[in-house]
Amino acid sequence: YAPGLRWAISAMPSRPMHHIRPAIDSDFPSLLACDPYARSHAERQAFLREKTAAGAVLLAERDGSVSGFVVLEPGFFGHGFISLIAVADAARRSGVALALLAAARQRCTTDKLFTSTNASNLAAQALFAQAGFVPSGRVDNLDPGDPELIFFKALGSTRAQ
């Protein structure tokens, strides 16, 4: 027992949690702010608009601003697939990516959840491992010289179908 330790712990400011909700059309500028690639690539913008309209985009907010988003799609060989996760530069290393992956896991209606990243993206690989995903395969010839690595997470056989 250390006198004063209890006070120090209770006096620490608590960080507000990430609020995660489905994205809507009016969130589009905030999605772009989190995804530098989308800002300069019309095909990514069209993808985000389409997935937002379909209800496949979840976004994280903290203190009234969007800190990141995830796209969860149902059609990867009949299983859930996280096709994109993006976090605003200012929100990196704050737990938002893990919170988004957890929200996608909760929303997934299949017993298997997959995601992928390039072999060169070591940060994404570490994130997926931290979230409990395991390597599941590799796809060559998408990006020259940078294979796509597939990751898998078992969600259990009691999921709603």
pLDDT number for residue 156: 81
List per-residue pLDDT tens for the chain, 161 residues long. 444 444 444 444 445 578 999 999 999 999 999 999 999 999 999 999 999 999 999 999 988 889 999 999 998 999 999 999 999 988 888 889 999 999 999 999 999 999 999 999 999 999 999 999 999 999 999 999 999 999 999 998 655 54
At 159 the pLDDT is 52
pLDDT tens digits, 132-158:
999 999 999 999 999 999 999 999 865
Question: Phi first, then psi: what are they for 3, rounded to 5°?
Answer: -55, 140
Do the Cβ atoms of 18 and 32 come closer than 8 Å? no
Residue 13: per-residue pLDDT: 44
3-state class (DSSP) for residue 141: coil
Distance of CA 154 to the CA centre of its chain: 17
Token duo for residue 50? 């389409």
Query: Is residue 127 within a helix (H) or strand (E), and if so which, with residue range?
Result: helix 122-130
State percent of the chain over pLDDT 70: 87
Cα distance between residue 7 and residue 22, in whole Å:
39
pLDDT (0 to 100) of residue 158: 52
User: How far, CA to CA in Å, does 23 sit from each of 58, 79, 104, 121, 124?
Assistant: 5, 22, 13, 26, 22
pTM, to two decimals? 0.85
Q: Distance between CA 160 and CA 139 in Å, rounded?
A: 29
> What pLDDT score was predicted for residue 92?
86
Give the count of alpha carbons within 13 A of 118, CB side only: 8
